Structure 1
Amino acid sequence: MLTLLLAALLMTSPTAPAPEWRTPFETGGGNTTATHAECIAYYQKLATAYPTRLHLGEAGPTDSGLPLHEVVLSPDGDTDPASVRRKNRRILFIQNGIHPGEPEGIDASMMLARDLMQQPKLQKLLATVTVVIVPIYNVGGALNRNSTTRANQNGPAEYGFRGNARHLDLNRDYIKQDSRNARSFAALFQKWQPDVFVETHTSNGADYQYTMTLIPTQHSKLAPALSRYLQQQLLPALYKGMDKKKWPMTPYVDFNGQTPESGLRAFLETPRYSTGYAALFNTIGFMPETHMLKAFAPRVHATYDFLKTMLETVGQQADLLAAARAQATADQAAQTTFPLAWTLDESQHETVQFRGYEGRMKPSDVSGQPRLYYDRTAPFTRPVKHYNTYQPTATATRPTAYLIPQAWGEVVEILRRNGATLEPLAADMTLPVEVQYLEDYKTSPRAYEGHYLHSQVKLRTATESVAFRRGDYVVYLRAGAPVRYLMETLEPQATDSFFAWGFFDSVLQQKEHFSDYVFEDLAADLLRRAPALRERLEALKKQNPAFASNGAAQLEWVYLNSPYHEKGFNRYPVARWLGTGQL
């Protein structure tokens, strides 16, 4: 019986592939995932056999020293994004192996690409949708093959490692782009500007009955037209399609507490994550997350069927999808206020019928203390709350343009890589701009993906005349610009802004100070010549006895409010220009 079941699982395709076209997963008994070399060789074999419909190319370097690859599936061999759009085809972008220990998408995409080439019924799906596949994104992690680092996962026998060649988690690198992988991805993403983006994953966490769970782009963060389309059209079709294929799905299982009774908490994918990044460009993103405790074979086949269902649905809803994206772009052109940070709204929830296992407690064999386990002899289906609404906690109004001093070349390079147009000033000029001073912020005490993140940013805004040099950059937020991307990277209070990731940390350190015994005389003279400043100091002393008894604190206050204090200290270097026209 077990042999028959495994054979059935390995026969997902309506027509079984010829022996020479079976993948390493199919020849390995259902518990084998392709190595990087095997995966790329397989696509090379497909490209040789079907040169007019499948293209394999290099898409840029990775930190491993090996290139990132791009596979394009189209009915006529068209690999030009502009031409594809003129033919009114939607673009589906599938990325696999960002965490190579979660490899289902690697194997599922190999089989899907083959079947799209070899099965006439499936070939028809490419008439309205061009498919772009990144076979393995984290090449370095895939090369670091082992069988132990996914301690909680049920197969495959060997797999890759989560970190890349620089020990970076690439699913935290979409904004900062420290890795060559992320830089190559950004160029590829901007080249295709896909309608739908899918990045395949495997879950961690609780035990439940589902093989497939799903994280869609958080609908609260999407433009209204895209949010409505996602909620009312795309998601219902995907859930229905997977039901028909005998893979019932549930929203990603992240309990609001420890058990299903606490409700499911929708994942907030900020722009550091792939789908959060995609949303900045009005691309709907998905992370299908198979369940780590299910065997590898059903996880691969569930992923195959999800990708196939996505392709079918995007084709069927091509016009609706195009209209929603066009409306989102038009609405964004007129939008004046943008959210920058979000929090879960626990006053709102939906209800889903959840298929789980009872959570119980028993003594730990390790510690003897009570431990949680899920009782697979006690399955249930019951309604649970799904908290799926987020509210903005920080917003910013849209400036006419940002002005960026040329000294910040790393930021300029990232902006250009992600579709922003930066124009150098032709001459020195002094402009009235809105500047922001960093009054307060919190910094993580431990490194996170190579950075010490800032959060809880408090700003003081002022209008000042600032001198800019010839060659400094202006980036306009006019129609056609990646407005949301610019605001969520350049406004310092945004969750994943460049400030949050530490790109401007040098302004947080004071470069000049004073010798107190010398500055005492300068400060006294300054207070004699500036009665208003003296009045402010005396008022502070009356309000704060500790300040009044602290001579050093008073001297520091005078210095900070004097012409001697450096203007660049704690001043955010990117200025907001609110004028009209063009500089």
Structure 2
Amino acid sequence: LLDRANLILIPILSVDGHERTGPYSRPNQRGPRNQGWRHTATNQNLNRDFMKLDQAEMQAVMGLIHKYQPDLYVDIHVTDGIDYQYDVTFGYNGEDGVWSRSPAIAQWLDAAFKPAMYEALEAQGHIPGELVFAIDDRDPKKGLNDGGLGERFSNGWGSAAHVPTILIENHSLKPHEQRVLGTYVFLEQALKLLAEKSGDLRAAIAADRALRPAELPANFDSDETPSRTRPFKGIRYETFDSVASGRPEIRWLGQPDAELWQMPFYGSHPTLTLKRPTVYWVPSYRQDVIERLRIHGVQMETLDAPRTVAVDMLRLVDPKVSARTNEGHVPISVSDVRTEAHDWTFPIGSVRVPTDQPMGDLAILLLEPQSNESFFAWGMFPEVLNRVEYIEAYAIAPLAEKMLAADPALKSAFEAKLAADPAFAADGDARLAWFYERTPFYDQRYRLYPVGREN
């Protein structure tokens, strides 16, 4: 197997999780008797870290990938969720001909890889299938969806980075030995296939790495109506009234259902379109962001002297801070931005990031604040939401009087605001703040996203 293909194997990725081994780790998984923990010591799931790169393990994986440029990256997991007959499920973005950021790679995986994997697994008594994301674990026949296509997961990242990436989910309710043997067959057949057809796959990788789409769909949501019906090999179940929960609960019976289920399958659609700028500028004081871009393999120029550049900057309109944490972060979302032209001086150590490069799509998804996979969305630019200067009432009130007397248009706008907004009219602080925002003393960097864009 190794005569014509190289295998790089990472047997333990989540070291912290592996060391937290015991018999009471995952009650919804059948074996082994002692299991590791899903999360790292900082309580993060590594399969949510492919974009933000918080964890040393994921940073090391990226270094390995960019060093060796693998033709195929296989990410091996064990599932949660509903029971079914499939013991090895796997998938990739763009499966079954749907849209992908790497269409040539997805076409090769559809045409060459997937059939070969199914044939090899079935020959050894396994039941392979596509990834399973149930809409409702308590009502399994309600339907399936595609899992959302997010780039924080390995398959989504692979599509954006143009690295052929397979996400394997071995079924948690199948015996441990069966899961291990299924993975063995999968890797064995993958090595055989790469030995035979790596030329075609490398041509697909090259084609996708050359793409420079002017617009990038992003922030995918599940469709409201199913795109197709998916035949599904289900397991029989029944429901019972639970005294503990006070509601009907599901009980899996462990027996294959003789009838093939016809499951509605829901795809995803983008809710945001990002336009491709020519260049991004990241200021030097955000070395943490710059370093994560470097680890991603993003090419950039580092300034050895200050440079003043005509750029577009984004003013964030009413950003929302999440009420709950996610993967060690407090997410921040913004749906509305205003573009402002500035001549901005970037200091020594700032970086110029062109998007005309293989990792250009990845850079766009990471640096556009409206992208839900961006550094901003993960809460990594909270400083732009802070006001660091203010003005006392004794200073702004007399200044406001002079402004009203000198500017009839301002006076009309203020009176219209008072008439239209009774809460504003009754709030003295809000009224004075309204004037403060219209003075040259106001902090013009408040809610100004510090990453510049050249179009």
- Fold match, TM over 0.5? yes
Q: Aligned partners of 1:278, 1:293: CA distance in 2, in Å?
A: 28
Whether 1:147 aligns to 2:23 is yes
Q: Is the 8 A contact 2:317 2:334 kept in 1?
A: no
Tell me the CA shift for residue 411 of structure 1: 0.6
The match for 2:144 is 264
Higher relative contact order (CA 8 A, sep 6+): 2
Counterpart selection for 2:124 from 236, 239, 245: 245
Please show how residues 352-431 of structure 1 align to structure 2 within 5 Å. 352-364=230-242, 366=244, 369-377=247-255, 379-385=257-263, 387=265, 389-431=267-309
Aligned residues: 451
Q: Aligned partners of 1:222, 1:315: CA distance in 2, in Å?
A: 25
The match for 1:327 is 207
Q: Aligned partners of 1:367, 1:310: CA distance in 2, in Å?
A: 45
Counterpart selection for 1:347 from 225, 245, 258: 225
Q: Find the residue that maps to 1:133 and give its secondary structure.
A: coil
Q: Aligned partners of 1:489, 1:164: CA distance in 2, in Å?
A: 23
The match for 1:306 is 186
Q: Aligned partners of 2:266, 2:114: CA distance in 1, in Å?
A: 14
1:342 maps to amino acid:
F
The match for 1:496 is 373
1:389 maps to amino acid:
G
Please show how residues 116-195 of structure 1 align to structure 2 within 5 Å. 122-123=1-2, 126-127=3-4, 129-195=5-71
The match for 1:519 is 396
Q: Find the residue that maps to 1:131 and give its secondary structure.
A: coil
Q: Deviations over 1:127-151 (max 9, x none)?
A: 1x32221121112221222111111
Q: Aligned partners of 2:323, 2:108: CA distance in 1, in Å?
A: 41
Q: Aligned partners of 1:548, 1:304: CA distance in 2, in Å?
A: 71
Q: Find the residue that maps to 1:321 and give its secondary structure.
A: helix
Instruction: Give the alignment's TM-score, normalised by structure 1.
Output: 0.73
Q: Aligned partners of 1:462, 1:385: CA distance in 2, in Å?
A: 48
Whether 1:471 aligns to 2:345 is no
**Distance change >3 Å, CA 234–CA 386, structure 1 → 2:** farther
Counterpart selection for 2:412 from 535, 540, 546: 535
Tell me the CA shift for residue 412 of structure 1: 1.0
Tell me the CA shift for residue 436 of structure 1: 0.5
**Distance change >3 Å, CA 440–CA 218, structure 1 → 2:** farther
Question: Gaps spanning 5+ residues in structure 2: where?
Answer: none
Please show how residues 200-279 of structure 1 align to structure 2 within 5 Å. 200-219=76-95, 220-257=99-136, 258-279=138-159
Q: Percent identity?
A: 31
Instruction: Give the alignment's TM-score, normalised by structure 2.
Output: 0.92
Q: Find the residue that maps to 1:165 and give its secondary structure.
A: coil
Tell me the CA shift for residue 369 of structure 1: 4.6
Q: Aligned partners of 1:531, 1:470: CA distance in 2, in Å?
A: 45
Tell me the CA shift for residue 239 of structure 1: 2.4
Q: Is the 8 A contact 1:215 1:267 kept in 2?
A: no
Q: Is the 8 A contact 1:254 1:266 kept in 2?
A: yes
Please show how residues 38-77 of structure 1 align to structure 2 within 5 Å. none
2:216 maps to amino acid:
F
Tell me the CA shift for residue 388 of structure 1: 5.5
Q: Is the 8 A contact 1:351 1:383 kept in 2?
A: no
Tell me the CA shift for residue 234 of structure 1: 2.7
Q: Aligned partners of 2:53, 2:245: CA distance in 1, in Å?
A: 42
1:172 maps to amino acid:
R
Q: Aligned partners of 1:325, 1:419: CA distance in 2, in Å?
A: 16
**Distance change >3 Å, CA 483–CA 465, structure 1 → 2:** same
Tell me the CA shift for residue 515 of structure 1: 0.9
Q: Find the residue that maps to 1:380 and give its secondary structure.
A: coil
Question: Gaps spanning 5+ residues in structure 1: where?
Answer: 1-121, 579-583
Q: Find the residue that maps to 1:280 and give its secondary structure.
A: helix
Segment drifting more, 210-219 vs 198-207: 210-219
The match for 1:55 is none
Tell me the CA shift for residue 223 of structure 1: 2.6
**Distance change >3 Å, CA 426–CA 367, structure 1 → 2:** closer
Q: Aligned partners of 1:183, 1:378: CA distance in 2, in Å?
A: 42
**Distance change >3 Å, CA 444–CA 549, structure 1 → 2:** closer
Q: Find the residue that maps to 2:441 and give its secondary structure.
A: coil
Q: Aligned partners of 1:577, 1:398: CA distance in 2, in Å?
A: 10
RMSD: 2.3
1:145 maps to amino acid:
T
